[in-house]
Amino acid sequence: MKFNQITIIDDCGIQESIVQKIAELSKSSIIIFNNTPVSKEEIIQRIGDSDCILLSWKTIISAEILEACPSLKFIGLCCSLYDESAANVDIAAARKLGITVKGVRDYGDEGAAEFIFAQLIYLFQGLGKYQWKADSTELKGKSIGIIGLGTLGSMVATMAGHFGMKVFYYNRNRKTEAEQKGITYLPLHKLLAICDVVTTHLPKNTILLGESEFSIKKKNSILINTSLGLTFDKVAFSQWLLTDESSYAIFDADGMAPYADELSKKNRVISSDKFAGFTAEAKIRLSEKVLENLLAY
């Protein structure tokens, strides 16, 4: 057995067939919790003497919690781990304590990309509550600015190209390969000023858009966010919606967290209570990658 005690400390979406395989790696019977703990004390209690825990992005593991759980050897994140500073586990503290932390990548991008274009088509064609222009319009010829050209951002760029959109991007580092495919780099403020659609794909809770960014954003434009948490200052965003009464925003459940109740009620906000990237297929990919991390430990 790889571990003495494996505990799934919240509802992290692992498929039952994979849970059974994970259970085979635990000397003691696997312990499973199906809801999110509400306090650090509850998290510590759930971890107990476990040497391996699995959790979603919704549970925060601080240095204090890690220090209170001396048996821990492995933490499996059932979510993406792109940036230590944006992780829901204190990676630096875990490293000092000799605890391995592994996340997964590239499991929910297909569903998120499909969500983005489904919502855009509904808005452009006026198939839902709102219609972007007086007449229904096509995606072809419209400009889309992608902020964050990682796996999902690149997928969105490819799909946008297939629809005949003009594709621009902003990223911390220039992407030569993407530019060779016809995707044009723009500085952030220039991208915001000229693009009909802006979609953000950033690490969890990375706030990039503030008052100055919204002040120069193109009129009658659309903001999309499917990142984990807001990518914009909430007050500046609300003011933008009030000032430009022809603007729209599109969010899935992740993109509004933790302000879904407030943001979803605003005019011209198109929202979903579903996590766009957490389709049935994504859950299978996630589960398999979590198992791979355990087997590789």
pLDDT tens digit string along 132-142? Answer: 999 999 999 99
Q: Is the pLDDT of residue 244 over 90?
A: yes
Same domain as 198, residue 113 = yes
Residue 91, amino acid: I
> 265 and 128 share a domain?
yes
CA–CA distance, 97 with 281 (Å, rounded to integer): 35
Question: What's the pLDDT score for residue 204?
Answer: 84
Q: Are residues 251 and 122 in the same domain?
A: yes
The DSSP secondary structure of 257-272, one letter per residue, reads TT-HHHHTTSTTEEE-
Local structure of 102: helix, strand or coil:
strand
Q: What is the pLDDT of residue 149?
A: 96
Once rounded to an integer, what is the mean pLDDT over residues 168-188? 96
> For position 268, what pLDDT does the model report?
97
Q: Are residues 232 and 118 in the same domain?
A: yes
| pLDDT (tens digit per residue) in 15-31 | 999 999 999 999 999 99
Same domain, residue pair 63 and 185: no
260 in the same domain as 129:
yes
**How many residues in the chain?**
297
Same domain, 258 and 178: yes
What is the pLDDT, as a whole number, of residue 106?
86
Q: What percent of the chain has pLDDT over 90?
A: 90
Instruction: Give the pLDDT confidence score for residue 6 in this predicted structure.
Output: 98
Residues 74 and 11 in one domain: yes
pLDDT of residue 223: 99
pLDDT at 117: 98
Q: What is the pTM of this model?
A: 0.89
CA gap 112, 156 in Å, rounded: 9
pLDDT band at 84 (very low <50, low <70, confident <90, very high): confident
Residues 255 and 288 in one domain: no
Instruction: Round the average pLDDT of the chain to a whole number and report it.
Output: 95
Give the model's confidence band at 257: pLDDT under 50 very low, under 70 low, under 90 confident, else very high: confident
pLDDT(251) > 80? yes
Q: Is residue 1 part of a domain?
A: no
Give domain status of residue 131, yes or no: yes
Confidence check: pLDDT of 87 > 90: no
Q: Rounded to whole angstroms, how far apart are CA atoms 114 and 68?
A: 42
Lowest mean pLDDT among 43-47, 79-83, 126-130, 167-171: 79-83
Structural domain includes residue 248: yes
Judge whether 246 lies within some domain: yes
pLDDT digits (tens, 9 = 90+) for 264-292: 999 999 999 999 999 999 999 999 999 99
pLDDT the model gives residue 190? 98
Under the banding of pLDDT at 50, 70 and 90, the label for residue 60 is very high
Which CATH number fits the domain that encloses residue 54? 3.40.50.720
Report, as an integer, the average pLDDT of 261-266: 93
In a domain, 93, yes or no: yes
Domain containing residue 17: 6-105+279-296
| Average pLDDT of span 65-84 | 92
Domain count, the chain: 2
Residue 147's closest CA among 79, 72, 201, 90? 201
Structure tokens at 27: 């000397």
Residues 25 and 96 in one domain: yes
Res. 82: pLDDT tops 80? no
> Same domain, yes or no, for 31 and 165?
no
Two structure tokens written together for 95: 């490293």
Note whether 201 and 265 are same-domain residues.
Answer: yes
